[in-house]
Amino acid sequence: MAQADKTSEGDRGVASPFPEIVELNVGGQVYVTRHATLLAVPNSLLWTMFGQRSPAELSRDSKGRFFLDRDGVLFRYILDYLRNLTIVLPDYFREKASLQKEADFFQLHDLSKRLRLSTMSKDDSLTEEVCRGGDPEEAAALGTALASTSMAVSPGSTPNPRSPSLDPRKAGFITIGYRGSYTIGRDIQTDHKFRRVARITVCGKTSIAKEVFGENLNESRDPDRPPERYTSRYYLKYNFLEQAFDQLSEAGFHMVACSSTGTCAYTSNDPNEDKVWSSYTEYVFCRD
């Protein structure tokens, strides 16, 4: 039995100073993975950190987790790539360029190359052939074939560059909501902030919301919802209602309903002091 144990230790080689299960804090997002997963790609940054260095050399957070000051949401795709050596992105993925920067930082050169040379489909997600590491020339040929197919028309038919099956402008509804406040002072000449918008929320089908607002949409609270599902967890990165209305108008939407509630409070017990009004408003937009 002792001889068997000795042989087993020899097969494993020198014991690693890192635990088998590693906890990571990446930009505030916590991940738990196997140590072997972090070593999946030789000569990558994670391979160097967790294979060539000691735990004492790496930064940790207050709870002892290894800390990386990178995009915590996008790191899930980095980790998936290390697990499977392939990359599959959600539909309507808008952060390919940002993910490529993360791949460059972590020195995952093959992943970076795939992202750079990838052929984009109509929904702006990576095609399956490229995601699985197909030949770049084949990927380029595939992109040309897809483009030719989308423009092809049968004899005698009217050319239509926007095929209904590929038309991103789907009919649907989007609800815009915002909480705001404004102050009315005793002196009407006083320069008050009459409207202060805290956050503009977006409710509706995921694919339509991403089509209309693109990079202005904050998806961190619901990053991987399927495109045909509905969500009420998105909000905009800016606080100008008119900018949201402009984007909706440009996308072919028109307002069909709105509602608002409001409350009034005094800044002090003196009724002569400034009044602060708070309100919640929703606007419903439709595209036929």
Residue range 262-280: average pLDDT? 68
- 69 pLDDT above the threshold of 60: yes
Give the three-class secondary structure for 66: strand
Residue 204 in tokens: 């509706």
Confidence at residue 191, expressed as pLDDT on a 0 to 100 scale: 52
pLDDT in tens, 197-251: 778 999 999 889 988 998 888 877 667 777 788 988 888 988 888 999 999 999 9
Query: What is the average pLDDT across 99-107?
Result: 95
- How high is the pLDDT of residue 207? 87
Helix axes 206-213 and 241-250, enclosed angle (nearest 10): 100
Q: Do residues 285 and 175 lie in contact, with contact meaning Cβ atoms separated by under 8 Å?
A: yes
Average pLDDT score over residue span 12-16: 65
Question: Own/partner pairs for 103-112, CB < 8 Å, 24+ apart?
Answer: 103/78, 105/45, 105/70, 106/44, 106/45, 106/46, 106/70, 106/78, 107/43, 107/44, 107/45, 107/48, 108/41, 108/44, 108/78, 108/81, 110/41, 111/78, 111/81, 111/87
Looking at residue 215, what DSSP letter applies? G
| pTM (predicted TM-score) | 0.44
CA atoms within 13 A on the CB side of 39: 13
Residue 109 banded pLDDT, cuts 50, 70, 90: very high
Q: What is the pLDDT of residue 49?
A: 95
Q: Which helix (H) or strand (E) holds 30?
A: strand 29-34
